[in-house]
Amino acid sequence: MTWTEYYDKFYDWSESTQIKKLSSLESPGPADEVTEVMIDLAYNHEDVVNWIARKAIEQKLVFPAENIADLTNLMDEGLQKQLVFQSAGSFSKDGLEKLIGLVDAGVVVELYKSKEYIIPGDYSYLDDSYGFDDADEEYELPVKAIREMIINAHCHRLMTDESCVQVALYDDRLEVTSPGGLYNGLTFEEALQGRSKLRNKAIANVFSQIGLIEAWGTELQRIQSSAREYGLPEPEFVEMPESFRVNLYRKSLTPEMRQDGDEISTKDGESSVKFGDLSINETQKGILRVIERNNYISAASIAETMGVTTRAIEKNIKELRERGILIRHGAARGGYWEIKKNK
């Protein structure tokens, strides 16, 4: 079926027929008609819109800037970025202005530079003279990675959860925890590959407009690359039922940096935390090691991890709490553990 045949009958068909007939298309038609069809189907069928976008990319279809602006938030951000670069040759200065605030700020600045246009005042600090990269060298941890961790946490946090984004600094790591797991069926593997599903689009758009989001869907990869550039251990991404955490590990500490003889968790997770001369049994040590890795973990999950009964775990947790070594914050669901060292 040709695009002309499809488009002429589009509004005569039911929605299910509109979608079914797409698979028989030889190629997409004019960009404005393709945009119209994508907008019409977007309300209930983001997957179909993404499929059309991929076909348009395969066919190297060029979209006017105003069409791409109309498609903002209706498709995967990574696909929109590809359409932008694929169509960039046709953009006039007026066309680029239509993308400001709707398309990733870093992409807009890159297009302005490639066409040798003056970068808009709101984005001027993203020019090469901004000097942000040089600042990283002065710090123990990469500023870029920390920025990505915090921005990502706010863009994807669950607003109906009363808890807040938590930033915690330990001897061996910086961790940022965001309420709410991965959004709308997105898997961890898809997130690492650059696929993005935004829970808080308004917040993300604000970050994009002020130039703090460089490219949609690449936050986790940028955290990883920043850590590698600094020679740090590989960051850890912890997906939990009701939250998501990123651990950015520090380099090995010198003896002078250790406090009161305490040791820290090693990269492979074999913790040797000591609590002064306090005597605790092996099960309790194991519980503390597991909680150090994930302080949102339940007693049942600790039992499963350690291969012991839940009753034994609960008994030992009770002893640790009575001795002030382990503190519980919040309710059974959504709360977290705190380990008090050198108690």
pLDDT of 137 strictly over 70: no
CB 64 within 8 A of CB 90: yes
Q: Whose structure tokens read 């239509």?
A: 98
Tens of pLDDT, residue by residue over 41-62, are: 888 888 899 999 999 998 899 9
Q: Residue 62 is encoded by which pair of tokens? A: 């060029």
Structure confidence at residue 12 (pLDDT):
92
pLDDT tier, 123 (very low <50, low <70, confident <90, very high otherwise): low
Least confident piece of the model among 74-78, 164-168, 189-193, 322-326: 189-193
Q: Residue 241 is encoded by which pair of tokens? A: 């039922």
pLDDT of 106 strictly over 90: no
CB 163 within 8 A of CB 169: no
The total of other beta-carbon atoms located within 10 Å of residue 220's CB is 20
pLDDT of 166 strictly over 50: yes
CB 230 within 8 A of CB 142: yes
pLDDT of 145 strictly over 90: no
Least confident piece of the model among 52-66, 84-98, 146-160, 244-258: 244-258
Query: Which pTM value belongs to this model?
Result: 0.39
Structure confidence at residue 116 (pLDDT):
74
Least confident piece of the model among 5-14, 274-283, 289-298: 274-283
Structure confidence at residue 34 (pLDDT):
92
CB 224 within 8 A of CB 234: yes
pLDDT tier, 265 (very low <50, low <70, confident <90, very high otherwise): very low
Catalogue the E-assigned strands of 209-329.
236-240, 243-249, 326-329
Phi, psi of 341 (to 5 degrees): -80, 155
CA–CA dist 134, 261 (Å, integer): 35
Share of the chain above pLDDT 70, in %: 77
pLDDT of 134 strictly over 70: no
The CA distances from residue 330 to 237, 296, 338, in Å, are 23, 10, 11
Q: What SS3 class is residue 104?
A: coil
